[in-house]
Amino acid sequence: MKIVIVNGSPRKGNTYSAINAFVEGAKDNNDIEIIDSYKIKISPCVACGTCECYKGCVSKDDSNPTVDKLVNADMIVFATPVYWWGITAQIKLVIDKCYCKGALLKNKKVGVIAIGGSPTTNVQYELIEKQFQCIGDYLDWDIKFHKSFFANKKDDLLKNEGAMEELKALGKEI
């Protein structure tokens, strides 16, 4: 299976550790590509309507090549740190541009990994899960998992053996 992971963090911290653990579990049976959303240039959607949900974006940036990778994937995993009770702006830009080929993203398998500095009982994780549920409902995504982890300091998740094993097992199950 072709898995594309969209990394929403510019740092090599907890989100990076989560991605690496997931990849460790999934690497034997899958072709995996990681898109570092902070390295690509995607302009905000201007709601021009030219794309008609399948033609692609008129922006002369990385929108179309990025969305094409998602279209060609069997599964998309969004990995994001929590910024202000939500996903990062970089992830949101990628998701906004999914509209340009939304008709081609129907029934896509999707996973979400969110890492925040508050315990997982905090409302921020619920807000992110609800946001992805709404996006998934609109695009008919098949959300396979939504995992949230608490990690405050840069290497907290890496030190959490249970979380790392859970992420590896999740990758292996895919």
Residue 53 has pLDDT above 90, yes or no: no
Confidence of residue 29 (pLDDT cuts 50, 70, 90): confident
In this prediction, residues 23-38 reach a mean pLDDT of: 96
**What structural domains does the chain harbor?**
2-173 (3.40.50.360)
In this prediction, residues 2-8 reach a mean pLDDT of: 98
Q: What pTM did the predictor assign? A: 0.96
For residue 145, which amino acid is it?
Answer: F
Q: How high is the pLDDT of residue 81?
A: 97
pLDDT (tens digit per residue) in 120-129 = 999 999 999 9
Match 């890492």 to its residue by tokens.
115
Q: Is 162 exposed, middle or buried (0-12, 13-18, 19+ CB in 10 A)?
A: exposed
For residue 133, which amino acid is it?
Answer: Q
Side-chain half-sphere CA neighbours of 26 within 13 A: 25
Q: How high is the pLDDT of residue 137?
A: 94
Percent of the chain with pLDDT over 90: 92
Q: How high is the pLDDT of residue 4?
A: 98
Q: What is the mean pLDDT of the chain?
A: 95
Quote the tokens at residue 170: 């999740």
